[in-house]
Every structure is written in C-alpha cells, then in structure tokens.
Amino acid sequence: MGEQIYFEDVDEGAEIPTLRKDPTTQQLVKYAGASGDYYQIHYDKDFALGNGLPNVILHGALKGAWMGQILTDWIGEQGTLKKFTTQYRGMDVPGTPIYGKGVVNKKYVEGDERLLECEIWLENSEGQKTTTGSAIVSLPSRDS
C-alpha cells in the first residue's frame, strides 16, 4: 500500500492511480479453485471456443475484485470503502493486460464523514471499458 491520502488532498476530477493486471490462465485456474467457479469457459480453451468465445475468459468476480483493489490501494489503511458496484460490459482474456482506472466525480461532507463518489473501470489495451462501476469512499481528514 502507498502513502495515506487525505480528503483535503483530493479534488473533483482527480484521477485514481492506474492499476495494471496481466492475467494468466494459471491465475484463472487458481481463482476457480479458490472461488469454486469451475465453469469451463474460464480454463478449458476448447470448451470456450466451442461456445463461440475468443478464448477462455476471465471470471467476472475476479475482475470485480481487481476493481475493489483499485480503490483500496488508493484510499489507504485509514480510508473506508463504503459502497461499490460493478457491471460486466465485455470479456477479457488471459495474456492481455488490463488497466484499472477511475476518477473522482463528487467530493462532499456528510455528518462526520468526508466522502468521494468515484467512477471506476477496467479497460483493455484497446481502451475499451470491459467492466464499469462506481464507489463511495470515506477518507480521513488532516484536521482530525
């Protein structure tokens, strides 16, 4: 984890640091074992091709976990992920880099909390957003 960021350090329109992932088929097999998601489209290339897919594809929930990582890496140990949503808009395949990105859309105080509303996404090397989402995070204040 990086250095702690504070509410006062972030402005609306700020970009969340990019997170690069380089998924492999081995990683998909490990994730299948950990999650119990053994659907063959995630590890059996012949099965995936036979079902009209370009290759084996990444698990949606794995991509969702990476989107969560974009946020938790950024907000640091004193930040809190309050709300998080994802929508799967496209397929990603192993052997192709994926980039997690985001932007702060709104900054506000509600009660004792200092909140940021963020738009986040995963995009492929062609710049297509394959997974989109939103989040609300709470950050500590330098004044506290």
Helix axis angle, 60-75 relative to 25-35, nearest 10°? 90
Which of 70, 82, 79 shows the shortest CA–CA distance to 141? 79
Domains parsed from the chain with CATH numbers = 7-138 (3.10.129.10)
Q: What contacts 55, CB < 8 A, 6 or more positions away?
A: 45, 48, 49, 93, 94, 95
pTM: 0.92
70-119 pLDDT tens trace: 999 999 999 999 999 999 999 999 999 999 999 999 999 999 999 999 99
* Residues in a beta bridge with 123: 99, 129
pLDDT at 27: 94
